[in-house]
Structure 1
Amino acid sequence: MFTAKVYIQLKSGILDPQGKAVEHALASLGFGQISTARVGKLIELTVDAADQAEAETIVRGACEKLLANPVIEEYRYDIQRAEQEAEA
């Protein structure tokens, strides 16, 4: 078993209205030193795979087919052996 963390955000150049809202809110709260905010998604997955390579293939497929919109979003992921297996 593996645990995957998938990070998804809009590609640069794509308008990020949530990021803009966060920027304005931060500025109004006195955090003018922060000039840019981008909002994305974090999706955590538990993957049943024989090895790291198979887990990566499964996660990449899930990202490309469902989790991310490749036209406007980019993604990256981190995969680790699940905690309970790592301790055994």
Structure 2
Amino acid sequence: MYKVKVFVTLRESVIDPQGTVAKDSLHKLNYGEVSDVRIGKYIELTLEKTDRNIDEIVKEMCEKLLVNLNVEDYRFEIEEVVAQ
């Protein structure tokens, strides 16, 4: 079994209104040292063992469904889980 962590962020060239609101709110709470906030999403997948290449499977899932490639970037980490 595999545990996959997918991290999705807006591309640097894309304006992040949610991040701007969070940064402004942090400044109002006296966290003036915060210079930028970018909001993303975290996706956790559990995959059964397969003969197919796990990296390729996850890349396909991200690019076909989980990530909007027009405005988002992504990276993922795969961890093999040993049943106990």
Give the TM-score of the pair, scaled to structure 2: 0.92
Partners of 1:67 and 1:33 lie apart in 2 by 33
- Matched residue type, 2:33: Q
CA RMSD after TM alignment: 1.5
1:22 has 2:13 as partner: no
Q: Are 1:10 and 1:74, in contact at CA under 8 Å, matched by a contact in 2?
A: yes
Structure 1 residue aligned with 2:60: 61
After superposing on structure 2, the runs of 4+ consecutive aligned residues of structure 1 that deviate more than 2 Å are: none
Identity %: 38
Distance 2:37 2:8 in 1: 14
CA distance in structure 2 between the aligned counterparts of 1:41 and 1:15, rounded to whole angstroms: 16
Unaligned runs of 5+ in 1: none
Give the superposition deviation at 1:55.
1.4
Aligned partners of 1:13, 1:35: CA distance in 2, in Å?
17
Deviations along 1:2-54, one digit per CA (max 9) or x if unpaired, are 00000001100101011001100100000000100000000000012337x72
Letter in 2 for 1:11: R
Question: Which runs of 5 or more residues in structure 2 are unaligned?
Answer: none
| TM-score, normalised relative to structure 1 | 0.88
